[in-house]
Structure 1
Amino acid sequence: MAAKKTNSGRNKKANSKIKAIPKYRSRKANYAEKINLTLFHIANAVNIAPDLDELYATIHKILSDVIDVTNFFIALYDKKSDVITFPFQRDEKDKIEDYGGGIIYRASQSDTLTGRVVNAGRPVFFQRKQMIEVYRKLNEFGSVSEQWLGVPLRVKGEIIGVMVVQSYTDPAHYNQQDADLLLAVSDQIALAIELKRALDVIKESEKRYRTLAEKTNDVVFSIDAEGYFTEISPAIENITGYSREEIVGHLSTVRPAKRAEYKKIGWYRKCLVRKSGLGLAYEHFIHPDDQEWVSLRISEAVEKCSAYHLDYRLIKKNGRVHWISERGVVYENEAGHKQIEGMLQDIHKRKHAEDINQVLFSISNAVNTTRNLDELYGSIHSALSRIIDAANFFIGLYNKQTDSIFFPFFIDEYDFHNDPAPELKNISNPKSGSLSGKVLRTGKPLLIKKKERLEWIKKDQLSINLTPAEVWLGVPLKISNAIIGVMAVQDYHDPNHYDEHDIDVLNAVSDQIALAIERRRSEDALKGSKERYQHLVDNIDDIIFAVDGESRFSYLSPSVEAITGYRVRDFKGRIINWDKEINSTKRASRRDDKDFSMTRLFESIIHPDDQKTVLNIISESAQNQAHYAVEYRIVKKNGRTHWVYEKGTPYRDAEQGKGIEGIIQDIHKRKHAEEVNRVL
């Protein structure tokens, strides 16, 4: 009996464990679902939040559904300036602005709580006792919480900030699962912040384009059981160019023998069964790329007798493509036949604004992704082609010193297919006859048709060397109100190909294009300058060196081998006493890094009789931020003594820290000659 009871007990225990498995799996699945939902909401917040401040607030609200964020802040880290800032905080006791904005300088060397998370690169917990110790050490003040949890924010492996939660009441308020949860969503939060920051860069251009995003009146329509438009708002003409009378079906004016043979003409939808044979299919006016899927979706709605919502493109009466949004409801009338009631909304400006924003972003990003100016011009042309016909397009850059304009990028149906466009001289002279010159002189966009241009040329007795286009549109490229060039499109076939709307489009992107070109020109010039400087430094006979605040060589020219016999990689740094109260010998003796052993220091080859003098002169110079110069002997790799002359200048600033830059010259021949003369 006892055995049976024991087995029974084991079975019960086993059964209870088995029953617990689904609950465990369920909890695990719920946890994963919670994280996925949070990630989705954070990703969506980028599109919803109008600015960064609103994004931070939205992130805070989203996180509040999965973790206690009563006391919460986001800190951002700028690696280049090594600074931490605090753009968002929600706290029961403290406000960041009460403590000077809470900016942390030299974050990579900071011992603050946030700085520790940045430097550790992983989630960090702090309890009250630890926080008090840190505050005392750093002489900080503020409310001390019972528990503090910080998680790094990363984008492509780089830490861009820290996200922190804390509790003033419970030392065990957060656990490892909370840290794991924050870590699971941290990358998405970091990505959302970075994306919103990038979008803010082009915010000013978006404002300039606000006129293209204004609302227009909606169009209400009715379609009968045969698919004909029986009613449509007059506002349709503003959107499509077609009048209400052209669209709405009406009886044919041809009188048939029988009244039943009267036929309707007008527009109809293919999705409904038609008995009469006249009229134009609405689908014919839908953009060819959208026709098939739009027809399919509406047919499905008709079949299910349901509502639908579609965004697609129409071909206007003037041949232009136009975005509309269609909402409709399919219903059965009293006779059991299906009809449609709906609304058309002009969304072209919004869609076009979205396209322009994408173009602005592409152009801004092209500065980093292209290798040179030619590639940048190609990227600009490709991006612009998405929002305007740029089949005939050029960029002209103005040289104020020579009063000329040259064309680094020129694509045209007729002119300069194989040869580059010539540089235009005396461009500021009205007699030059140049349309680009006119844009430069006025600083305003110019839309001009062939007839007007020929009249202007005839009136002022000007000459024209290019094929005159039917319509020409150019806008100035400006940086801080200074004109750097012209961007233009033209068409050789249709005088109405461009209008005021296209002026707004080019104006909306012109500043970003000018900025991208100027930035790439500056970077290319700087790169060329650096390459020339590097070539000069690498090939000069003297030793050029730079030492950072840690006494390590940040640069040492290859000429060190010719003078000392040692290669650049044989040296790691120098012995420099930056602080007066620390003895240089003690500082050197504290180096336990193998790379910083005495054999890797430049001072190791200074002649023993000169070492102390050189060390003192350089250290005093570093302490007093004063220029120094000293002659001394070195012992070359081959064991020979060699005279050199060293001069250097210490520096100390907030951006680069401290260091020394200098030059070491070979003066052995001079010293040897002096010695010979002295003996003689």
Structure 2
Amino acid sequence: MQKRLTYKDLHEKVKQLEFESIARKQAEDAFVLIEKKYRSLFENSLLGLFQTAFNGRLIDANPALARILGYENRENLLAAISDFKQQCYVNPGQREEFIQTLRAKGQLTGFETQFYRKDGRIIWVSESARVEYDERGNIVYYDECLEDISIRKQNENISSILFRISNAVSTTRDLNELFLSIHTILKDVVDATNFYIALIDESEGRLVFPYYADEVDRNYLTSISNVYNPNTPGYTAEVIRRGQPMFITDEVSQKLGLQGEGVPSKVWIGVPLKIKEKIIGAMAIQHYTNKYHYTEEDIHVLISVSEQVALAIERKMNEEALTESEAKYRTILENIEDGYYEVDAAGHFTFFNEATLKILGYTREELLEKNTREVVDEPNYKIILQANKKVARTGKAIKGVEVTLMRKDGLPCPLEISISLVKDSKDKILGFRGIARDIADRKQAEEEHKKLQAQLLHAQKLESIGIIASGVAHNFRNILAGITANNNLLQLKARDNPEQLEITQRVLNAIKRGAQLVDSLVQFSRKGNAEELKTVELAEVVNETYDLISKSFDKKIEIQLNLENSLYVKGDYSALSQVVMNLCTNARDAMPMGGKLTIAVKRKGPRAEIGIRDTGQGMTPEVRRKCFDPFFTTKEVGKGTGLGLSTSYGIIKAHEGDIHVYSELGQGTSFKIFLPLVTANTEERVPGPNPLIFGRSQKILIVDDETDMQLPMEEILISLGYQALAVSSAKECLAQYRLWRPQVVLMDRNMPEMDGITCAEEIIQSDPEAKIILISGYDEVGINGIDPAVKQMIAGYITKPIDMVELSQVLS
């Protein structure tokens, strides 16, 4: 039976109910307040807050999530998303991974994945969540939080890209491989399916496209000329000229009046490649179908990495240029004949080319173990040391240092070295480098040149002596001419007095010996000029030479002649005499203590042989091989020109002959000359004395500035049956020729005021039929001979002293 409540009990119960009501009200008010605060946080949070059901349905979401995913408001978002996993996750499998981890742990933070936005763009997000359970432990929903980390990821990616691009410079082999690597790296953060790099060729002012990859345009341009010209079309050229990135769609292109390169694209992004404000080129990406394919974030990525790309390209270009330069440098070093070497500060060899090894005779391994001191003697080491100190002190290279190093085989090696410093990047001296030229040949050539100069000087002195001899001979002949003329006059007047005739004959013989001596001097002062060849009797040539050498050679030298007479050759008498004299002189010089000189002339089949043999020192094989070389001599300077044998060789060859030498050291020397024989020409060689030929009162005009010649010549000609008139100058001659009209003019060649040749030319000009005979102390040929034009002009040439018989025959 239920107890009946008292008033007190009822009062207490009422008070309890009032308390519970108040508490419930307070709790409800607190819950409303908390819910209001939570809603405010939920609605105003910058993070995307949302709830998802077990089946993947989006239960609730705040405005921040709608904004992150690209929706206008939360209502549109909630209405649009029916399957959170399939619609939002780029990789739905990652949602499965996320949920599994969340269920296992009860909560999860910082799960990074990629979401789709409403416009299709992909963003990076960081997702956190916890599981809400009911009182029975069943999952009710997932409370989740989403943060857009695209910018952070982009920055991380950019940092990674910058590092990877920088690293690609050292990991790629060449520029083309670097371009491919850059393209591959960029594709990780931006759609670079259609991508290219353009570089400026400053030397030609054009834009070249060394790399492009394009799925649509397969025939892309290789270059654009006049890139800086405002009228040059193309998006890339515009980016280069502006120096600014460009985001170009069809609308922008039309608005700016621009035209792209190749196949038109819907959207094109290009950025300049700059290094400290210097533009070296541009890179670009493009899409051909969707103008919304790229965003500002994509251009931000390209801008962010463009400088690193430019630096990478420049570094690789410099690296390739350096590699190419080093290859050229090494090729040059290995192919030059000069030695190139580097030594450290202590003088140890650290680098050298093949030429250095060849010069010093070492292997590469051997020389790397050597110090400079080990390949040079003390005096030359001091030269190198002083040069190195000077280079180190001044910092300037030194050229032309001459030193002698020692080869591995011990032979000296004269070198000319240029020395400079080797420094590191901090300007610290590491050692020295040098270029060494082997100057052994040059040194030898310099010595030979000095020797040749001395020989040439001696030859010039001899030539001068020859010229002087010619002049002396001329003056001496003039003296003999006066004596001869007066002696001839005495002979004519003493025809009936035998005693006087004998005296005049002795005088004439002395004159002839003097004339022969002068002729010999003149013959040997000539240069061997080729005259008109005549029939020459070889024994006569040898005998004439013998007359000279028998009087001038040391009496300790015995001279023996074995001559076969009547052997004739066609030749230059003077030149052949020079050959015999040269060989005899060499024989004399080979016998300073005396000996025997044998000269022989004999027939050898169709040729004549001249043999000249001495018992002198003989020749070594090397000297024998070189004896006919010009300027080669074993004699001291001043005692031989080195021209005698070479001149003789040339003369004999000009005569269609041969000359051979046979010699052994200590066994003497034998020269044999072979010349083709000819039959004697009787017209050239008239035997026996010639008779006087008298004139028939013809007029002879004598022109000579020597008064000692005028009177006797005039009397001789009158005695020979001529009318004679003598004058002392060319001026008088011209006057008398016009008045007297002589048949013949005997004209002295050398006269003051006007010489005989000039006077003869004036006479021939007025009278082409005039007959003029030149008389001179100079020979008709040789150093002071006359030229062919004068020879044709005159009727004859008589060399002083004048033989009366020769004169009578020439006049006839």
State TM-score, norm by structure 2.
Answer: 0.46
**Residues 520, 307 of structure 1: alpha-carbon distance in 2 compared, 3 angstrom cutoff:** closer
Tell me if structure 1 keeps the 8 A contact 2:349–2:371: no
DSSP 3-state at the match of 2:224: coil
> Matches of residues 485-496 of structure 1 in structure 2 within 5 Å?
485-496=281-292
Give the partner amino acid of 1:428. Y
CA distance in 1 between counterparts of 2:422 and 2:105 reads 78
Q: What residue is the counterpart of 1:136 in the other structure? A: none
Aligned with 1:380 (options 182, 188, 191): 182
- CA drift of 1:299 comes to 4.3
**Residues 503, 293 of structure 1: alpha-carbon distance in 2 compared, 3 angstrom cutoff:** closer
- CA drift of 1:247 comes to 3.2
Deviations 1:572-606 (A, max 9, x none): 4xxxxxxxxxxxxxxxxxxxxxx4xxxx3444444
Q: What residue is the counterpart of 2:414 in the other structure? A: 643
Q: Is residue 330 of structure 1 aligned with residue 160 of structure 2?
A: no
CA distance in 1 between counterparts of 2:400 and 2:55 reads 99
Deviations 1:618-656 (A, max 9, x none): 465367447364334344444544432223235677544
- CA drift of 1:377 comes to 0.6
- My pick for the range that moved more, 528-537 or 667-676, is 667-676
**Residues 226, 675 of structure 1: alpha-carbon distance in 2 compared, 3 angstrom cutoff:** closer
> Matches of residues 588-667 of structure 1 in structure 2 within 5 Å?
595=369, 600-606=370-376, 610-611=379-380, 614=383, 617-618=386-387, 621=390, 624-625=393-394, 627=398, 629-650=400-421, 654-667=426-439
Gaps of 5+ in 1: 1-215, 250-265, 268-279, 573-594
Q: What residue is the counterpart of 2:642 in the other structure? A: none
Q: What residue is the counterpart of 1:414 in the other structure? A: 216
CA distance in 2 between counterparts of 1:446 and 1:470 reads 14
- CA drift of 1:560 comes to 1.9
Q: Is residue 523 of structure 1 aligned with residue 294 of structure 2?
A: no
**Residues 299, 556 of structure 1: alpha-carbon distance in 2 compared, 3 angstrom cutoff:** closer
Tell me if structure 2 keeps the 8 A contact 1:333–1:339: no
Q: What residue is the counterpart of 1:426 in the other structure? A: 226
CA distance in 2 between counterparts of 1:634 and 1:570 reads 16
- CA drift of 1:304 comes to 6.5
Q: Is residue 469 of structure 1 aligned with residue 265 of structure 2?
A: yes
- CA drift of 1:319 comes to 1.5
Give the partner amino acid of 1:523. E
- CA drift of 1:465 comes to 5.7
Q: Is residue 248 of structure 1 aligned with residue 17 of structure 2?
A: no
Gaps of 5+ in 2: 1-44, 456-812
Give the partner amino acid of 2:126. S
Give the partner amino acid of 1:365. N
Identity %: 31
Q: How many residues align?
A: 403
Q: Is residue 282 of structure 1 aligned with residue 81 of structure 2?
A: no
Q: Which structure's CA Rg is the greater one?
A: 2
- CA drift of 1:444 comes to 1.1
- My pick for the range that moved more, 311-320 or 462-471, is 462-471
**Residues 638, 303 of structure 1: alpha-carbon distance in 2 compared, 3 angstrom cutoff:** closer
DSSP 3-state at the match of 2:262: coil
Q: Is residue 312 of structure 1 aligned with residue 113 of structure 2?
A: yes
Tell me if structure 1 keeps the 8 A contact 2:197–2:281: yes
State TM-score, norm by structure 1.
Answer: 0.55
Q: Is residue 237 of structure 1 aligned with residue 33 of structure 2?
A: no
**Residues 238, 562 of structure 1: alpha-carbon distance in 2 compared, 3 angstrom cutoff:** same
- CA drift of 1:224 comes to 5.0
**Residues 307, 513 of structure 1: alpha-carbon distance in 2 compared, 3 angstrom cutoff:** closer
Tell me if structure 2 keeps the 8 A contact 1:632–1:643: yes
Q: Is residue 354 of structure 1 aligned with residue 156 of structure 2?
A: yes
Give the partner amino acid of 1:515. L
Tell me if structure 2 keeps the 8 A contact 1:367–1:376: yes
- CA drift of 1:473 comes to 0.7
> Matches of residues 163-202 of structure 1 in structure 2 within 5 Å?
none
CA distance in 1 between counterparts of 2:389 and 2:77 reads 91
**Residues 668, 607 of structure 1: alpha-carbon distance in 2 compared, 3 angstrom cutoff:** farther
Tell me if structure 2 keeps the 8 A contact 1:473–1:490: yes
CA distance in 2 between counterparts of 1:645 and 1:308 reads 79
CA distance in 1 between counterparts of 2:192 and 2:137 reads 52
- CA drift of 1:495 comes to 0.8
Aligned with 1:447 (options 215, 235, 247): 247
**Residues 657, 466 of structure 1: alpha-carbon distance in 2 compared, 3 angstrom cutoff:** same
> Matches of residues 483-522 of structure 1 in structure 2 within 5 Å?
483-522=279-318
Tell me if structure 2 keeps the 8 A contact 1:327–1:342: yes
Tell me if structure 2 keeps the 8 A contact 1:560–1:567: no
Q: What residue is the counterpart of 1:164 in the other structure? A: none
- CA drift of 1:517 comes to 0.7
Q: What residue is the counterpart of 1:671 in the other structure? A: 443
**Residues 549, 281 of structure 1: alpha-carbon distance in 2 compared, 3 angstrom cutoff:** same
- My pick for the range that moved more, 352-361 or 488-497, is 352-361
- CA drift of 1:492 comes to 0.5
Give the partner amino acid of 2:402. E
- CA drift of 1:533 comes to 1.2
CA distance in 2 between counterparts of 1:564 and 1:571 reads 9
**Residues 612, 657 of structure 1: alpha-carbon distance in 2 compared, 3 angstrom cutoff:** closer
DSSP 3-state at the match of 2:86: helix
- My pick for the range that moved more, 235-244 or 391-400, is 235-244
Q: What residue is the counterpart of 2:673 in the other structure? A: none
